[in-house]
Structure 1
Amino acid sequence: MALIRKNSAGADSFGHVWPEDGAVVEVDDAEQIAALMAIPDAGFSEVIRPAAKAPEDGDPKGDDGEISEVDPKDENVEAPPAKKTAARKTTAAKPE
């Protein structure tokens, strides 16, 4: 099974439909994939899935390669470096 992107919306003779420009469709048949990729200037390309990482200690499922949000309150997340700001000059109060 492969993810196939088509630059412009349309369909193929195998029944796959790309509803909008740049849409991605799963194609299961290797012969269909080869046939689509062999069409010159048709705008087909294969999308590479993110590699899954092996399970780590304490994580029985491992990483499935999907993007997830990071909780900034998590103790294991490093804070971004602080921005440096210019020092402000303070003026002494005038004696009255």
Structure 2
Amino acid sequence: MALIRKASAGGDSFGHVWPKDGAVVEISDGEEIAALMAIPDGGFSEVTPENEPAGPSGDDGRAELSEVDPADEGIDADRPVAKKTAARKTAASKPE
């Protein structure tokens, strides 16, 4: 399990959703994490105690994280993430 931050709001092809810029999502599949981290300009980073910004602390001194509830954010969690489609070539009209 890892906590993955995305610099800008959005989703991925695995169905994870980051509702706002800098949001953190828990991902348990190592292959999914590796695929996201391999995207050069994807804006993904793993959240660790060293790179987590200062905030409310628990008893152990680490910053506390909370899960995002899609219902609270007005996000339709059941809606699938849009898939990219290939552009279609159209026949160019020939001048007569």
Range of TM-score over shorter length: 0.5 to 0.7
What percent identity do the matched residue pairs reach? 75
Give the aligned length.
56
The one-letter code of the counterpart of 1:26 is: E
User: How far off is 1:64 after superposition?
Assistant: 5.3
The one-letter code of the counterpart of 1:44 is: F
Measured in 2, the distance between the counterparts of 1:19 and 1:67 equals: 20
Relative to its length, the structure with more helix (as a share) is 2
Q: Extract unaligned runs of 5+ from structure 1.
A: 51-62, 69-96
- RMSD between aligned residues: 2.0
1:27-76 Cα deviation digits (max 9, x unpaired): 000000000000011100000147xxxxxxxxxxxx655559xxxxxxxx
Normalised TM-score (structure 1): 0.52
Normalised TM-score (structure 2): 0.52
State whether structure 2 residue 24 is matched by structure 1 residue 24: yes
Measured in 1, the distance between the counterparts of 2:39 and 2:5 equals: 13
Q: Extract unaligned runs of 5+ from structure 2.
A: 51-58, 65-96
